[in-house]
Amino acid sequence: MSMAGVFAAPAAALAALFVPFETARLARPADGRVLFLRARADVRLRELAQPGWLCEQSFLPFAEELSRHGLRVGEPAVDERFALVLVLPPRQRDEARALFARALQHAAPGGIVLAAMANAEGAKSGEADLQKLAGPVQQLSKHKCRVFWATRDEAAIDQALLETWLALDAPREIAGGYVSRPGLFAWDRVDCASALLAEHLPADLHGRVADLGAGYGYLACQLIARCPRIDAIDLYEAEARALEPARANLARAQREAGRELAANVHWHDVTRGLPERYDAVVSNPPFHLGRADLPELGRAFITSAADALVPHGRLLLVANRHLPYEAHLGQRFETVRTLATQDGFKVIEATGVRA
């Protein structure tokens, strides 16, 4: 299944981000070195980017897209400074504030931190936050987005706020004793759909199991607690920021269960298939990106699960009741059963993988 177009770049915010250069409000750095946090690939970026640009992106499909376009992807060194730091802030405010703090930290003295956000995604709050942190900002509006920037001035920076906001991205304990961090899926709670799936995990699941789109690892922890015959578990997650919390949660789950098993966390795009074979696969697959429903994402997860299951294997997934997965499941499995429906969700078990 082709996923082309599913992860399309936010064209309006990206286009708006470069308007200050097109209108000569800002000039690109003479040394050609630019840091782009939460970078996204598009035609305009390819036109502007130079070899000295460094693009940071923790979501693997976006990172791979940047690489395919010939852009350099990685993380800056702790003490690395840039005359220009570009930012596409997320909607989640703690996560965005931490990103503004990192951007300012990596800006050289006199350097510029430049951000663009859609008006409907918290642009006004984002501009206010950057001003609180860095001092006076300039701004313009374009493409239903707000573009705003600040110059790094040591005297204007709120140093205490900088330290506080840098810490906002650190993994932290949430309800239930799990470790998570802002911006992950259902980051500050146990997702009710995942909890429903956990309640219906068959106790006789055994052998090697995969959790697709694992997030901070809730379902994997429930597998360890509820299914004593599992002896290996692989977590697959495309968001790199989830990997550290997931590993911490897995270690705790094994301690609490009083047993050790082969448990591994992989930074991986599930839509591209899985590298191993499994006796069972569990998933609360993503079905949207931003605010758009994208059921093809869930169907891609189902395809990858079916391809990775051994002939006797089982797929257990939870989804919103309105999502039309049954037809696709029927194409890949002999038997498809609904185990539960509750609060707008459905838990489905699929067995008998079709070749």
**DSSP H helices in the chain:** 11-17, 19-22, 43-48, 60-68, 93-106, 123-134, 159-166, 192-199, 218-226, 243-257, 295-308, 326-332
In angstroms, the CA 105 to CA 134 distance is: 10
DSSP 350: E
Return all residues near 22 (Cβ < 8 A) that are at least 6 apart: none
CA dihedral 257, 261, 267, 272 (to 10 degrees): -110
Return all residues near 39 (Cβ < 8 A) that are at least 6 apart: 45, 55, 56, 57, 62, 66, 71, 73, 86, 88
Tens digit of pLDDT per residue, the chain (355 long)?
A: 334 444 455 678 999 999 999 999 999 998 989 999 999 998 788 888 888 899 999 999 999 999 998 999 999 999 999 999 999 999 999 999 999 999 999 999 999 999 999 999 999 999 999 999 999 999 999 999 999 999 999 999 999 999 999 999 999 999 899 999 999 999 999 999 999 999 999 999 999 999 999 999 999 999 999 999 999 999 999 999 999 999 999 999 999 999 999 999 999 999 999 999 999 999 999 876 555 567 789 999 999 999 999 999 999 999 999 888 999 999 999 999 999 999 999 999 999 999 7
Q: Give me the residues paired with residue 314 across strands.
A: 280, 351
pLDDT, one tens digit per residue, over 308-350 is: 999 999 999 999 998 889 999 999 999 999 999 999 999 999 9
**Amino acid letter, 19:** V
Q: Which residue ranges form the domains of the chain, and what is each CATH number? A: 11-167 (3.40.50.150), 172-353 (3.40.50.150)
**Amino acid letter, 104:** L
Model pLDDT, residue 214? 97
Q: Residue 5: what are its φ and ψ, rounded to 5°?
A: 90, -20
Model pLDDT, residue 89? 95
Q: Which tokens go with 274?
A: 């899985």
Model pLDDT, residue 312? 95
Cβ distance 113 to 152 under 8 Å?
Answer: yes
Model pLDDT, residue 291? 54
User: Which residue in this structure is represented by tokens 């997702």?
Assistant: 191
Q: Which tokens go with 51?
A: 């070899």
